Each structure stands twice: as C-alpha cells, then as structure tokens.
Amino acid sequence: MSGITPEIVAEHGLTPDEYDRVLKIMGRAPNLTELGIFSVMWSEHCSYKSSKVWLKKLPTEAPWVICGPGENAGVIDIGGGKACIFKMESHNHPSFIEPYQGAATGVGGILRDVFTMGARPVANMNALRFGSPDHPKTRHLVDGVVAGIGGYGNCMGIPTVGGETNFDPSYNGNILVNAMTVGIADADKIFYSAAAGIGNPVVYVGSKTGRDGIHGATMASAEFDDDSEEKRPTVQVGDPFTEKLLLEACLELMATDAIVAIQDMGAAGLTSSSVEMSDKGGVGIEFDLDLVPVREEAMTPYEIMLSESQERMLMVLKPGREDMARAIFEKWELDFAVIGTVTDTNRLVLKAGGEVVCDIPVPPLVAEAPEYERPWERTPTSPVLSADDALNGIDMSATDALSAMMASPDLCSRRWVWEQYDHMVMGDTVQRPGGDAAVVRVHGTNRGLAITTDCTPRYCVADPVDGGRQAVAEAWRNLTAAGAKPLAITDNMNFGNPERPEIMGQFAGCIEGMAEACRALDFPVVSGNVSLYNETSGAGILPTPAIGGVGLIEDVTANMVSPRFADAEEDIVLIGDTAGHLGRSLLLRQFADRDDGAPPPVDLAAERRNGDFVRSLIRAGSVTACHDLSDGGLLVALAEMALAGGIGAKLAETPDGLPALAWWFGEDQARYVVTTNAAEALLAEAQAANVPARLVGRTGGTVLTLADGNSIPLTDLRNAHENWLPEYMAAS
C-alpha cells in the first residue's frame, strides 16, 4: 500500500518534519497501518514530546521507591513485605464530550494501570474541575461525571474514598477528570512490561476489539477504505463488570509463575502496549492479527492496532503455560488468544491474511520520537496585596463571612458527590471522605495508607512556581494531618496549549516549584500523566498540576487522627505563622469579586518543620484532632472541625496588629489546627522545636462563638454547608 499524501500525514497529526523522520526510520514510505502506529506513538499523549524535557527535572528517587515513572504506575515499599502501587491519570477530553462514559473509562483505565503490575486496587480517588456553576453545561457534566466514576468503581467493588471537586469559569469548555487508583501488592511480586524470551507466546486477554476510540482525526478521511461508513469515530464505552472479571483473572494468573510480562491496553491500545513491551525488553514482537478477538467484522489492521476498546491486556507467558492460563480466563468468561510471539528482530511485524501488513523497527520508533523544547515565557509576577488593600470595601463580621463562604460552591460540603461512591466496600476504609486524607487499612493489618489529591489552580495561575510548591506541600500536609508519613506522589499535569509560550511558562514554573517541594519534603514523584491542549477558542484552563499523595500510618488504632473535634472542653491550638495573606484568597474572590495579588508564599523549611512537629504530636498521642489549613483559612478549618464532630467552640481574641478578617480567612501556608488536653505542654514543646503555636479557643457546646460576641449555631452552619450542592444539582 502506498499513496500516503501530505493531507493524510497532516490528518494523522504529524508535522512534515516528523514525517521525514518516519521516512528515514522506515527507509521507505510507510503504509497506512504503519503511519497510524507512528502517529499514535508520537502523539503528545503517548510521547510526552512537549513535556519530557521538563518532567526530567522532577525528583523520582527515595530509599522506599521501588519503581519510579516509566512503568504503568509507580511502586513504593510500605514495609511488611508489601508494596503500594499508584497513579493518577486524566480523562478530560472524553469526559467533556460524554461525561458518564468518559469518566467511567477514565477510572477503568487507571485501575488497569495498577492491577497490571500485580496489585489489588484498594482505593480510588479523583480530582474534578468543572466550569462556573452558572454555565449551562456544568450541572449536566457534574451529574454525568460523578455517576460515571461511581458506576465504574462501585461495580468493581473498589472504594472511592475521596477527592476534590472545584468550579471555575476557566474550565467551562474543558473540564478536568483526573482519576487515581492505589493498589497493594506483595513487594516481591511486582509485574513489569518488558517482554522477554525469544519464542515466548504473546497473549491477548479481556474484551474483544471493536472500532471504538480510534482517533477521530484519522477516521474522518474517506480515502482510507472503501467502507467509509464503518469508520465512524465512537466514544469508548466502559464495562466495569468485564473489568472486574479481568482483575480477578489476572490476579489469579499472577499467583502462578506463568507471566513474563504484562501491559494493559490503554491509549493507543494494541499499538502502544506491544511497542512498549518490545522496546523495554529489547526484543521484537510478531502478531497474526487474524487471531485477535474482534467484536465487528472486517476490521482492518489499522483499526485493530488503533482501537481503544476497553478492558484488554497483553501478556507474554512462559512457554507451555498457555493451557493453564487459558483455563483461568475461560473460568472468568473472558477471551484468551495467543496472537503472536516474542522475536529477536527488534521489529514489530504484523501479519493479516498471511501477508505482512506492517514491519517497523521498534527502537527508533521509541528512541527517535520527537522531543520539543518549546519556547516558554516566565509568568509575570503579581504584586503582594496588603491585608488593608485586600479588605478595602469588605465590611462584614467574620461570622457573616463564614456563613456565606461555607455555603459557597468552593467550600460547601461535597457529600452529594461522595455518597454516590461506594466508599466502604472492601471493609478497610478507616477515614471516609470529607476529611484531609482518606485512610484505608492494609488488609489484615492495623497499618494504613493515607491518600489525598490536591491543587490550588488559582495560585498556580498567579505564580506557577509557588503554586507548584503549594500543591505538593498541601498534599504533604493533608497526609501529615492524618498522622501519616508522606511517601510519594503521582502528578497529573493539566494545562492549555503547549505551543503558546505563556502556557509552556506555566508548565515550566509549576514543575520548578513542584520539584523544589518534592526535594524539600522527601516526597518524590513515582508516576504521572500530562494532559495538554485543554483549551477552547484560545482560552486555556487555569494551570492545574493535580497532586495525588500517599503516606503510611504504622497503626491506625494509635497513630491516626481526623479533623473531627473529638470532645468538649479541649484546647484548640494553631500551629504555624499567620501573616493574614489574602491575595488570591477565597475571601477576596467571594466578597470583592477579585482574583488578584500574589498567592501565599510557600516556605518549604517551615512546612517541613511544622509538619514534622505535628506528626510527632499525633504519634505521641498528644492531640485528639488535626486539620490542615488551606482554602478559606483558619475560621473555615475550625468550622469544618466543629461540623465534623458536632461540637462547637469558643474562640479567643484575634491578635493585635492584624485585621480580624485577615486573621480568620488569610490563606497562609504551613499551618494546622490541633486539639489537645495538654495545651501547656504542647505549647512548650512547640517553642522548644521553634514551631509557632498559639491557643485559639476551646471546644464545647453546639455553637461557634467568636470573642467579638458574634456566634453561629452549628445547625445553621450545617444547613448552609450541606444544602448548596444538592440544591444546585436539583435545580434545572
């Protein structure tokens, strides 16, 4: 087959330069199937061609890291012979087009990334960003995405234990659906994707291959095939029931010694899985495409290789184990087909109808993939706002501000969301959604994994470097506030069009800040995903480097706390410095309609010092509750603790020299609130450790009372906090 025209090349998203590179590697013109394979492997999504040079700057190592970025997911040692395997991945574009299926298949994809490495998934998390609540599509998108995430995870029987949901007009045309899965495996039974063993069988398992998800741009051309109506682009449709069977079958087979290598078929399906497996193993792979289980008739090699049908896996087995493996998959009523062999040619050779339809040298396909150092511009800095400037025109009591903020889209309860997720199945969820971090026990033990997702995009857009630092630091704080030792993160970099220098500048800045924070906090990146081109009509989203963090609690019965006020008549202590920083704060946004100023600066040394101190208090059993301070500052954190515990508080005078609203709602970093029965000793310890600490109130009653005489009953606060989202979703 020849006749590859410049138009066909362009429709495949390859530049003329990139196509020249293809010609050089092939030594001839590629046929359509080969061109399709180059096109998907060199797509931004698979090749990370715009982001790779920057991602290399992130620290990825620590003594407890077993496997960093580059495999299906990151792996860390959590002791006791167990490893934690986790990753976060975006499914932004499909979720905007078809929110239920887009979100559902996003969950399905990330689950496969984790169990393909040998882990049983134990928790799902997510980071969701929608447009303005006033935008006509928002309600429909929230409804579909939440139902899709729940629909997939609930059916799989894997608890969705938390996440974040935010609204901002910048996401009106590009919502973000980032799904994270955390799994647990035996540390000595991790499965990797490098194919090995010349002559070993290559096996396809799972669902049949259909025409879903083949790249829309390439599908649009009628010149590809006589049967053009067969080439409609379709949205991938998830089948969580099949995935549940695939999970159980894979884990059953993994308990034997039959598997040499395994890789899930995610983006770019059979193409990327086979190319990655052969490249990593330094071998070739040969397939007979006639043996691939297909759902539709007369599928072409091009379609089979580019299909993104869900719930499929590719494995290399040891010779002679095929029958045993087949029996397991047949028991689970799944397709199982030996479709090829590992070869020593370093080439991807595909046969169909007895003829070779594709023959590509694998090493250059991967190693010579384009990599761009795109031009970038540093984001101009915003001036630091003084508290007086920020509060100019905001004249209200702290309690009135609190009532309104707790009922705002930014801070209202997300119960409507997480009650649609089965967050308790598997019987190990010891901290449910709604707190700082969710905690799931390592099954059969008292050890716990704390999990969080965090990012504050309005900080990132103002100062990507500080925003990047803050996203990592907040994840670290949330884990710390539960009592966990933070271990590692996965990152999901969501940005606009990288061909615009100001967007690349945001990307570069965020990476710089994240890298710094990861180093300062010993919190390496072990997996991640990049989603670029989140733009509509030239308007990009807020830069959103979503961070998924995992930490370890040695004993959830002794070393864990939650944000809930535990009892009345306990002292409330604020840890960390408060300068009353209101630039980019929610207070400013809600009451002055302003999104300006520099974001709160992040002092990583203070983060480390204050966080290590708080964790030591929790481990020593000297605090009864702990909450990290973030959006909305101190008074919002106190209100959340009071609502969670159903216990009020009497709050102390605000300090001199700072406007009360800046004290209550400033978003200064590196801060926590703890409650204790031994405040004096705690304050003395803090002083000795050079950690700022201050008594800010005492728990009790059912009212939140400020020293200025104003107060709010918790029932009123709860109604305001709980009602906004259900009422918004019920309206039409």
Partner 1 sequence: MKAAVIVSPGSNCDRDVQVALRQSAGADPIMHWHGDPDLPYVDLIVVPGGFSYGDYLRAGAMAAHSPVIREVVARANKGVPVLGICNGFQILTECGLLPGVLMRNAGLKFICRDVDLRVEAADTVFTRAYVNGQIIRIPVAHNEGNYFADEDTLNRLDGDNRVAFRYCTPDGEVIARANPNGASRNIAGILNEARNVLGMMPHPERLADAALGGTDGRPMFDSLVEALAAAA
| Residues labelled as active-site residues | 45, 91
Nearer to partner 1, 47 or 445 (CB): 445
Angle between helices 398-406 and 633-645 (to 10 degrees): 60
| Burial grade of 320 (CB within 10 A; 0-12, 13-18, 19 or more) | exposed
Q: How far apart are CA 516 and CA 57, in angstroms?
A: 10
* Radius of gyration for the chain, computed over Cα atoms and rounded to the nearest angstrom: 26
Q: How far apart are CA 84 and CA 187, in angstroms?
A: 8
Nearer to partner 1, 56 or 331 (CB): 331
Min. distance of Cβ 425 from partner 1 in angstroms? 6
Min. distance of Cβ 443 from partner 1 in angstroms? 8
Min. distance of Cβ 453 from partner 1 in angstroms? 19
Min. distance of Cβ 421 from partner 1 in angstroms? 6
Nearby residues of 229 by Cβ (< 8 Å), 6 or more positions away: none
Question: Can you tell me whether residue 704 is helix, strand or coil?
Answer: strand
Residue among 342, 348, 376 nearest 364 (CA): 348
Q: How far apart are CA 441 and CA 450, in angstroms?
A: 9
Q: How far apart are CA 643 and CA 142, in angstroms?
A: 25
Min. distance of Cβ 241 from partner 1 in angstroms? 3
**CB 647 within 8 Å of CB 700:** yes
Q: Which residues pair with 206 in a beta bridge?
A: 312, 335
Nearer to partner 1, 226 or 333 (CB): 333
Min. distance of Cβ 163 from partner 1 in angstroms? 14
Q: How far apart are CA 190 and CA 113, in angstroms?
A: 12
Binding-site ranges for partner 1 (CB under 8 A): 147, 150-151, 154-157, 239-242, 244-245, 331-333, 418-430, 432, 441, 446, 556-557
Nearer to partner 1, 332 or 613 (CB): 332
Q: How far apart are CA 732 and CA 727, in angstroms?
A: 10
How far is the CA of 18 from the CAs of 217, 273, 318, 370, in angstroms?
A: 17, 22, 38, 7
Residue among 173, 167, 163, 178 nearest 134 (CA): 167
Nearer to partner 1, 153 or 468 (CB): 153
Tokens of 84: 């934690």
Nearby residues of 164 by Cβ (< 8 Å), 6 or more positions away: 126, 127, 128, 414, 453, 454, 455
Min. distance of Cβ 200 from partner 1 in angstroms? 29
Nearer to partner 1, 431 or 494 (CB): 431
Question: How many C-beta neighbours within 10 Å does residue 224 have?
Answer: 18
Nearer to partner 1, 421 or 665 (CB): 421
